[in-house]
Amino acid sequence: MSPSKKTITIKLMRGTIACNPNQRATIRGLGLKRREQVRVLENTPSVRGMIKKVLHLVSVVKE
């Protein structure tokens, strides 16, 4: 990612063992595999929509 791009940092706070398969696939699509893992992603509408679907499992650390 270039420095001019806006980024968003997310952290997986809860496990996905009790989630439905769609939520588990969304977490995997965001690139998160285990609890407490942090990812820096490009701030796009599609990424924000994915975060909104699993907001109860992740926390937005920094925008």
Mean pLDDT of the chain: 93
For range 13-42, the mean pLDDT: 96
pTM value surpassing 0.75: yes
Please check whether residue 24 lies inside any domain of the structure.
Answer: yes
Work out the angle between the directed axes of helices 45-53 and 21-29 (0-180°, nearest 10). 140
Q: How far, in whole angstroms, is CA 27 from its chain's centroid?
A: 6
Cα–Cα distances in angstroms (integers) from residue 14 to residues 4, 44, 52, 61, in the given order: 31, 23, 15, 14
Please check whether residue 1 lies inside any domain of the structure.
Answer: no
Whole-number pLDDT of residue 62: 81
Q: In this structure, what CATH number is given to the domain that contains residue 54?
A: 3.30.1390.20
Which residues span the domain enclosing 45? 7-62
Whole-number pLDDT of residue 16: 93
Please check whether residue 40 lies inside any domain of the structure.
Answer: yes
- Count: domains in the chain: 1
Please check whether residue 2 lies inside any domain of the structure.
Answer: no
